[in-house]
A and B are shown apart, each in its own frame.
Chain A
Amino acid sequence: MTRIGWRLASIVTGAVFIALWQLIANAHVISPVYLPSPARTWDALVVGFTSGTLPDQLWQTVQRMFVGWLLASLVGIVIGAAIGLSPKAREYVGPTLEFIRPLPASAVIPLAIVFFGLTDGMVLAVIAFGALWPTLLATVHGFAAVEPCLYDVSRALRMSRFAVIWKIALPSSLPDILAGMRLSLTISLILAVVGEMLASRIGLGRGILVAARLFHSPDLYAGVVLLGALGYVTAQGLFAVEARLLRWRHR
């Protein structure tokens, strides 16, 4: 079979699973209060979109996620570059970073609530903090792993320090940085959802929590489907950007 043939076959397999879900829901093995059928979930999606509640929630979540992610990426790349360029800084700060790396990002939520209260700023701070580490550590690694010969070349060419960073260190660590940013984006979405749940800010996270509390299972599943789609689209989008930025690598 061709690639497209296999692709179709795998989509059909997915459709079979959805049909199975419909059959289970129709058979009322599990009460429809807990498990809505795919058809009812789809209806909830359509109603949510035509009434404007879902686009509004989606937009709020997307905004939060991206602002927090961009903030984290910017800070992560700048600090990561500073640490990665200096072996001394790595010696002093490196172990602390290794200690913070496995810390569950959500563990700082109580601390963030203390500082910001249950506000949008709190959610943003948590997203930015949690999404910071993968990019920061990847940048440190990328800058530390630059081929030493390239620095010799730059010295021979009498390049300025800024030019060395901009023309040599940054492009050569770009694959690492982008890989870190990809992980950061996933974390941003997770923390955006958790933050909305806790701080009760309008968004998909709060939307699905409220739907569950009201036993509106079709709305709940519609929100989860939308969050899955959001995760998929953003990940694919970043892959496309990455492939474009790193075109030079495979030539």
Chain B
Amino acid sequence: MKRWRGLLFPLVLIAIAQAAAMATHLQSYTLASPADAAVAGAHALADGSIAVATLQTLANAFGGLALGGGFGLVAGIVLGSSVIADRLMEFSVEALRPVPSVALIPIAMLTFGFGFRMEIAIVSFAAFWPVLILTRNAVAGIDAGLIDVARALRLRPFARTVKIVLPAALPRIFVAFRLAAGIALTVAVTVEVSTNPMGLGYGMILAEQSLHPDLMLAYLVWVGVLGWGLNFAITSAQRRLFRA
């Protein structure tokens, strides 16, 4: 019974919008009724344009997540394992982290031009920091007893990291990547909306500029579904993998 209550609110909103559009005989280049948006969305789904845009956006988001998250993971392990490295880097991390990722849009544009490389570079920067910070905290927070065990076993630093530190820190590292995945998608869409002519963000802007509000709304809903679906998939995976 509880599920339909959650659905009621958005359904009522959509119904009101549809009723308002029909009552006013909406004929507009800037707004469209929910029904028109659904039709436009169905067309864009059928002709594959949404699929292509979605693949581009996801390629950028996951490319950046892999690159930035990978570097963040390695840097986080180093800073989490070595107090000296952590303290020496403190100022540099503090100085670079608050730079808003979108401030790098012009730099990436100047360096790479438009395309995948530019967008992946910006997404990497955005995904790097949360993975770095959370991995560092996870690694630094490992039970000291486990480190003693590694020492007693005379494991080399690499073996200690792979066999003891990483498995122990894995649940929290997963959380870091879950957070970074959401950020990656957000930043990818932002770069596309503002400058890079590809993917879902550009699709929205193009629909708006070519006076297709129905298509623009369809894209908006689709981006929402995508963000929600990504979050849902990663959260369920997390529940399955780390049930303990």
- Which residues of A does B touch, CB under 8 Å? 6-7, 9-11, 13-14, 17, 34, 91-96, 98-100, 102-111, 113-115, 186, 189-190, 193-194, 197-198, 204-205, 208-209, 211-213, 215, 217, 220-221, 223-224, 227-232, 235
Residue contacts A-B, CB under 8 angstroms, 9 given:
A6-B88, A102-B185, A104-B190, A106-B193, A109-B194, A110-B216, A198-B193, A223-B103, A232-B94
Q: Is the CB of B186 within 8 A of A104?
A: yes
| B51 contacts partner chain A, Cβ-Cβ < 8 Å | no
| B82 contacts partner chain A, Cβ-Cβ < 8 Å | no
Give bound CA distance, A139 to B24, whole Å.
37
- Say which one of B64-72, B133-141, B152-160, B224-232 lies at the interface with A: B224-232
Q: Is the CB of B190 within 8 A of A194?
A: yes
- Say which one of B2-10, B40-48, B143-151, B161-169 lies at the interface with A: B2-10
List chain A residues, Cβ under 8 A from B217: 111
| B198 contacts partner chain A, Cβ-Cβ < 8 Å | no
Give bound CA distance, A212 to B107, whole Å.
7
Majority DSSP secondary structure for residues of B touching A: helix
| B189 contacts partner chain A, Cβ-Cβ < 8 Å | yes
Closest CB pairs A-B (n = 8)? A95-B6, A231-B98, A212-B106, A102-B227, A228-B99, A106-B190, A110-B208, A104-B186
Q: Which of B92, B111, B201 contacts A106 (CB 8 A)?
A: B201
What mask results when residues 210 to 234 of chain B are scored 1 for a CB within 8 Å of chain A, else 0?
0001001101100110011011000
In the complex, residue of chain A having the shortest beta-carbon distance to the beta carbon of B108: A212
List chain A residues, Cβ under 8 A from B96: 228
Give bound CA distance, A12 to B213, whole Å.
54
Given contacts A198-B194, A212-B109, A220-B107, 15 further A-B contacts (CB under 8 A): A10-B89, A13-B89, A34-B111, A92-B5, A93-B9, A95-B9, A104-B227, A107-B219, A107-B223, A109-B204, A110-B205, A115-B30, A186-B100, A197-B194, A228-B98
List chain B residues, Cβ under 8 A from A17: 92
Closest chain-A Cβ to B126's Cβ sits at a distance in Å of 9
Give bound CA distance, A224 to B98, whole Å.
11
Give bound CA distance, A212 to B181, whole Å.
28
Majority DSSP secondary structure for residues of A touching B: helix
Contact A114 to B31, CB < 8 A, known contacts A10-B88, A194-B193: yes
Give bound CA distance, A211 to B224, whole Å.
33
Give bound CA distance, A103 to B10, whole Å.
15
Contact A107 to B89, CB < 8 A, known contacts A190-B100, A228-B98: no
Q: Is the CB of A104 within 8 A of B189?
A: yes
Kindly count the residue-residue contacts between A and B in the assembled complex, taking CB atoms under 8 Å apart. Answer: 165
Q: Is the CB of B6 within 8 A of A211?
A: no
In the complex, residue of chain A having the shortest beta-carbon distance to the beta carbon of B12: A92
| B105 contacts partner chain A, Cβ-Cβ < 8 Å | yes
Contact A189 to B100, CB < 8 A, known contacts A95-B7, A96-B9, A208-B106: yes
Q: Is the CB of A190 within 8 A of B95?
A: no
Q: Which of A110, A204, A224, A235 contacts B193 (CB 8 A)?
A: A110
Closest chain-A Cβ to B25's Cβ sits at a distance in Å of 19
| B56 contacts partner chain A, Cβ-Cβ < 8 Å | no
| B110 contacts partner chain A, Cβ-Cβ < 8 Å | yes
Q: Is the CB of B90 within 8 A of A190?
A: no
List chain B residues, Cβ under 8 A from A198: 193-194
List chain B residues, Cβ under 8 A from A113: 208
List chain B residues, Cβ under 8 A from A230: 98
Give bound CA distance, A197 to B8, whole Å.
38
Contact A114 to B208, CB < 8 A, known contacts A102-B227, A211-B106: yes
| B171 contacts partner chain A, Cβ-Cβ < 8 Å | no
Contact A9 to B95, CB < 8 A, known contacts A102-B182, A102-B228, A110-B193: no
Q: Is the CB of B106 within 8 A of A209?
A: yes
Q: Is the CB of A111 within 8 A of B220?
A: yes
Give bound CA distance, A227 to B100, whole Å.
7
Closest chain-A Cβ to B70's Cβ sits at a distance in Å of 21
Give bound CA distance, A193 to B94, whole Å.
21
Q: Is the CB of B190 within 8 A of A96?
A: no
Q: Is the CB of B95 within 8 A of A228?
A: yes
Q: Which of A7, A102, A193, A231 contacts B231 (CB 8 A)?
A: A102
List chain A residues, Cβ under 8 A from B201: 106-107
Give bound CA distance, A31 to B48, whole Å.
41
| B207 contacts partner chain A, Cβ-Cβ < 8 Å | yes
What mask results when residues 174 to 202 of chain B are scored 1 for a CB within 8 Å of chain A, else 0?
00000000100110011001110000110
Q: Which of A10, A190, A197, A211 contacts B92 (CB 8 A)?
A: A10
